[in-house]
Structure formats: structure tokens, C-alpha cells
Structure 1
Amino acid sequence: MQSNNIIEISSCSFKYQQNEKNTLDMEPLHVRSGEHIFLHGKSGSGKTTFLNILCGIIEPDENDIKILQTDFTRLSASQKDRFRADNYGTIFQQFNLLPYLSVKENISLACGFSKQKSLHVSDMDSEIKRLLDALDLSPALLHTPAMNLSVGEQQRVAVARALIGSPKIIIADEPTSALDSDTKERFMELLFAQVEAQDSTLIFVSHDRSLSSYFETHYDFADINRAVK
């Protein structure tokens, strides 16, 4: 019978240099399709390293990881790049928008790297405008360069870029660190509304424990990373 788990981690360990102790030594972790997971922990606990492994950016020393029933362990670097482009949407802490590109160009970039995502978007302009509206961004910003946006606007453009093409997995790495409390609350409401609308699985990493109330499942990263116990 096919598993309902979208991510299955049986083992995962990593260290940056051969003679150092492990940065990661993960407990088994299973994430269900459509689940919203909150991972919290202080700086240096291995959260970002874990996300980089999950996205195929870092190669672990030992791992047994299945994502979308695909044996991630056996994929080559180029296959992982393609898999990530097709199946992930990522919201980075620093947003990683291209400053001289417009809002429209930054958002559509995700589909430019993935034919699979492009197939989910029948009309690019209409879909971008829908996302801007859903995230409380004015359509007048469509052709504005990213460098001319406020921090809050840049963050929501980064969310739109992560959501376009209906990726199955959304990764959010400290996306609220630059926001005040009122803006943070509105951002979380907008993010969840869109993630739930397209039934994406959300893995959200932050040191801010106050955000845990938004999530059905939350872990202290120190409890699932044996390397920091």
C-alpha cells in the first residue's frame, strides 16, 4: 500500500569536516502529505543544514531519505536540482529576490526552471495577479523592481514565487525574522491561507517559538537531532 508520507527520513547524518563531531544525526522523521511542520531551535542547532540536505543542496554523510516516494539517496546532483525545481517552493530568510528584476519576473522565475510547474499555470499574468491579491500586494507593483519594495513587500513576493506552480512542498527558513509582531501575524495568516488552498506540505523553520501555535505539528530541533543532545 502506498504511504501517505510525503517525506520519510530513516537516517541522516552530516559533519562539515572529517574530524569534527556530527552537525546532524537525525531521529527518524515522517511528514504526511499536506501536513504543516514547525521546527524550532536556537542558532547552530543544525536547522538550516537539515533544510539544505532536504533540498539536495548538501550531500549528507549517511542518509536514507524518501521524498514523494522517490529514493532521494540515489539521485545524482543534477537529478536533485530538477526534483527540487519541480516539487519545492522555498522562502528564504533573506528572500533572495533578484533586485533588478520586476515583481512579475521574480515570481515567474520559478516556472522558468520547471516545466512541471509551468503546466500548473495556464495564464501566467492571471496567476501572478491572483497571488498578489491573495497576499495583499497591489497589482500596481507588478513591474516594480524588487529593490524598490519594502521589506514586507519583498517577503510576500518571495512567498508568491514559492507558491506559483503549486509545488507539493513549501520550505520556509526563518521567513519572519525581519518583521514586527503585527506584520508577522498577518504574514502567517496569508501564508497558511495559500498553502492550504493548494494543499502543499509546509516545513517551517524558526527560532521564534511564538509561531508554534499556528502549526499542528511542532518539534524542538534538539529533540530530533541527536548530535546536539
Structure 2
Amino acid sequence: MPRTIHQLFDLTGKTALIAGGSRGVGLQMAYALGEAGARLMLFARQEDALEAACAGLQAAGLDARWVAADGTLEADLQKLVSETLQRMGEIDILVNNAGVTCAAPVQDQPVEVGDKLSTPNLHSMALLSQLVGTHSMIGRGGYIINLACNTSQDDVITFTRTLAGEWGKHHIQVNAILANGGDGEALKGVTVLLASDAGKRITGQCLVVDGGASVGLPG
């Protein structure tokens, strides 16, 4: 018998590791996954921001924990994955949101900004995906959501499609979200869709969530 819509979106018993989960988009996605039933492990660089984020999540009745780590350092990511597995068991959902941003318009950015944006973002995303996939998802399946933004978005989308093709045989779904603007709940629905059986036939895709800006609508 087909499952109900509530059952398809239900994440009860799942564990989500959220990079850059202490604020902004990452924290919004953490709330979405937690409200759908997932246990949460947040990581970012600043301990005080992580403590505040987890306090808010816990006050909302969600199971949230944190580890401080630098996403550009391989040793930190290895420790992060190891500690998450020890404290929470398997990792079912990975959100790759940590990265460097630049607020200046592209025409005003110095040439070296491209490397500062693209290299750390993609390196962290690829390494964390490899660690989580190797130690937890391969053989079990899972969901990886990559945030594509700034001048690194094309690289992130290409990486997402490549990884989805390679890991599809392991029942690992890999998708990207290209977000621009919106309120505090703009990404909640699409996040749970891409992390649950509701989106079980979606992989290798980039979902644009921009309020229609990409088709000429006002922001």
C-alpha cells in the first residue's frame, strides 16, 4: 500500500550532519530537518554561534548537538565525522552549506576572489562528502544536499551531478539548491523533499529557489 504524504516526508530516526548550521540558510535547514523528525549535528567554526543555534533548536523541542570544526581543514573534517558517528550512529543526511562568500558584485571583485570562493567551497564539499559517504552512506544509502552560491555555483552543480552519477548505485541521492533571497522558511520545504523518500526519484539536480529572479521577476 502506498505510504501517506506524511510518511514520505517523515525523517524520524534519521541523523543529519549540517555544515554551516549555526546561522542563516544552514540553521533554517536544520530547523526543517529537525521538525521533520531528524536528529541534528551542526558544525561551524564559532563555538558561541553553535551554542546559540543549538539552544534555539533544543528550545523548540528538537534533538540538536554541535561540533566546532574548520571545513577547510582535512583533519577537522575527519574528526567531525568520527565524532558524529560515535555520538549519533550512522549519518543519513549531509548538508554541505559551509563556505566563503563575497558580498561585492562580480565586476568589483579582485581576480583572486575566484579562488578564495571556489577552492575552499568545493574542497570542503568534496572531502566531507567523501568521508561521510565512505564511512556511513555507501552500503546503506543516504541524501546529500549541496548549496550552490556565488561564483562557485557552476563548480558545485557539476560536482553534484558527477557524484550523483557515481554514487547512485549505492542508493545515495545527491542534489544541489541554488538559493537567492527569501524569508526564514524559503528553503524548508525543498530541504525536507531532498532529504526524504518524498524525493526518492530526484538526484543529480539543481533546484533553483529564488522567487522567480532567474526568470526576470522582481526580487
- Please state which band the TM-score falls in when normalised by the shorter chain: 0.3 to 0.5
Greater helix content: 2
- TM-score, scaled to structure 1: 0.36
Mark the structure with the bigger radius of gyration: 1
